[in-house]
Amino acid sequence: MKQHACGAARPHPHTRRPGCRWRGRQHRHRQSGRLTALFAAILTLLAACVATSPAFAQTSTAATSPGGNSADQAQGQDASGVSISIDAATAVVTASSGYHLKATISNGTSAALPEGTVTLSTNIFYGFVSRTDIQQWAQGEAPIPTPDQLGQAHVSALAPGASAAVSIDVPANQDRLKAMVNWGPKPLLLDYGDASGTQAQSTSFLTRSQDGLNTADTPAMGLTVAMPLTGSWQLDDNATSILLAGTGDEAAKITPDNAVSLRGGTKLPHDTGQLLAQHPMLQAVADPTYLRSLSLPPKSAGIMQSGYFDITGYAAEDDPQAYTDSGVDTAAWNADAATAQLRDALGDQSASQPAYAWQGAGRWTMQALDQAKRQGFSTVIASSGFDDADAATVHTGKYVVPTDDGEVTVLAAQRELSSLAHGHMSNAHAHGESSAAGRIARFMAQSAFYQMEQPYTARNLLVCFSASAPAADSSA
C-alpha cells in the first residue's frame, strides 16, 4: 500500500507530522481535471465495493396523511407510511453527464393511495458551510430551500403494500444544470405527493464536478482505499472429536493443516477476484495465512499479521501466558512469520511486501501499539477509533506514536467516509443513505466538501473497507 513520508515527529503520542504527503509522482494540472478524474475513479470503485447489506436495502422516509405532523415528516421521525428508495443516481454531475435517478415508491400504509407525483429539486446556488450543515440536511433537519426543479415522474396508484419504480432523466443542457457555476455538493430533495394529501420526502446530494467550470488551480485531495484480504476458517468435525479425546495414534496424526480448512475451498472467491482485477487502485492488505491456503494467491499491496491475529484484543487481555498455553506463541504472528508465509504462498523465498498490523476488534491503545512494534510491525492501520474527530478540517491521517519499543506509524482511516464505505448510514435519521446509491451520493458529497474546506492544502485520506463482509455482499 502506498505510504506517505514526512519530517521529524513531535513528542506527543498522537502528534501528526505536518505537511504529510503520500509517496508517488506529483502532477500539477488544473483542479478541474484532477478532481473530475478522482471523482470518476472513486465512484467506479464504490459502485463495486460499497456494502449493500439487506438491513439497509430500503430507504425509510417519513410520510404524512391528511392532518399528519409535517415536522415529524420532514425530520424523518416517523418511518412508517410511504417510503422512497433511491435505487440509482448520478452521484457526480459533469458538463455532459446530465442527472439520472431511479427510485422506488412503496406504500406501507393500510390504505390505497391514488396516483401521485415525485418531484426532484435542488438549490443550484447553495453551498454547504459546515459539517453540521451537511449532516443536518442528510437527516432531513436543515431548512434549506430547493427551488430549482430538475424533473418530475408520475407514480401510479398504489394498493397497500405495493410499490412503483420511477425514473427521472435530466439532460445535460437543462437550464438548471447549466446554471450551476460552482462545484461541490448540492442539496437534493425527492418529494412525493398525491391527491389524498399523503406526502413523503427523501434528502440526498448532487455533487457538481469542476468539469466545464472556470476554477482555480489548487492541489487535489488524494484518496487511498484499503481492504483487508482474509478468509474464514472451519474445523473438521472428525479431527476435532479426535483431538478432544486427546489419546491414541489418531490424535498424534492430527495437524493444523488437516484440522482446520478454509471455508469455501482453496480458490479465491470469484467476486473478490473480479473486484481486485477490475479496480487496481484498491489496495489489498493480505493475511499471509490466507494467501498460503489459496491455490492461486492474488496480488496484494502488503501483508498483515498472520491469521488476522487480533493484536488489540491480545493487548487488552494482557495475559500472554494464556495464549501460550493455548498453543499461540508470539512467534506465530510476528512480522517475520508473515513474510515467511508470504514466501511459502508465492513459492519465492526472496519475496517481500510491506508488513502492516491491521486493527482487530478493539482500538489501538498504547499497549496494543507497543505489542505491534515488539512483533516487528512499524506501521499499523487504524480502521476506526483513531481519527481526530474534533479536528476543524480533515487531514492526512498519519500519526507517529512513540512506544517503549520505538516509534510506530499509524495510518488512520477517515471516520465518516470509511463508515459509509462499510455500508453504514451516518445517522439513524439519514434515511437517504440506507441504499448503496444513497451512500455513494453522500460519500461523493462528503469528499467534495472536505476538498472545499481546505482547497489549497494537499491531503490524502485513507478509507478502509471491512473484512467482515464478503465481496458478493459488498458489490453495489
CATH of the domain at 181: 2.60.40.10
Q: Is the residue at 51 inside a domain?
A: no
Judgement on whether residues 347 and 372 belong to the same structural domain of the protein: yes
Q: Is the residue at 53 inside a domain?
A: no
Judgement on whether residues 417 and 271 belong to the same structural domain of the protein: yes
C-alpha cell at 192: 412525493
Q: Is the residue at 109 inside a domain?
A: yes
Judgement on whether residues 438 and 338 belong to the same structural domain of the protein: yes
Tens of pLDDT, residues 12-54: 333 333 333 333 333 333 444 444 445 555 554 554 454 333 3
Domain edge (last residue) among 208, 236, 261 = 208
**CA dihedral (412, 418, 424, 426) positive or negative:** positive
Q: Is the residue at 33 inside a domain?
A: no
Q: What is the per-residue pLDDT for 274? A: 84
- Within 10 angstroms of residue 91's Cβ, the number of other Cβ atoms is 25
Which of 31-45, 335-349, 461-475 holds the top average pLDDT? Answer: 335-349
Judgement on whether residues 275 and 378 belong to the same structural domain of the protein: yes
Tens of pLDDT, residues 234-266: 777 777 777 666 666 776 676 666 667 677 777
Judgement on whether residues 449 and 419 belong to the same structural domain of the protein: yes
Total number of domains in the chain? 2
289, pLDDT greater than 70: yes
Judgement on whether residues 195 and 109 belong to the same structural domain of the protein: yes
Q: Is the residue at 421 inside a domain?
A: yes
Judgement on whether residues 247 and 128 belong to the same structural domain of the protein: no
353, pLDDT greater than 50: yes
Q: Is the residue at 441 inside a domain?
A: yes
Least confident of 29-38, 275-284, 438-447, 462-471: 29-38
Judgement on whether residues 260 and 390 belong to the same structural domain of the protein: yes
Query: What's the pTM?
Result: 0.76
Judgement on whether residues 203 and 227 belong to the same structural domain of the protein: no
Judgement on whether residues 105 and 233 belong to the same structural domain of the protein: no
Domain edge (last residue) among 208, 232, 262 = 208
Domain that holds residue 240: 4-27+222-474
Judgement on whether residues 281 and 388 belong to the same structural domain of the protein: yes
Domain edge (last residue) among 146, 177, 208 = 208
Judgement on whether residues 357 and 285 belong to the same structural domain of the protein: yes
CATH of the domain at 465: 3.20.20
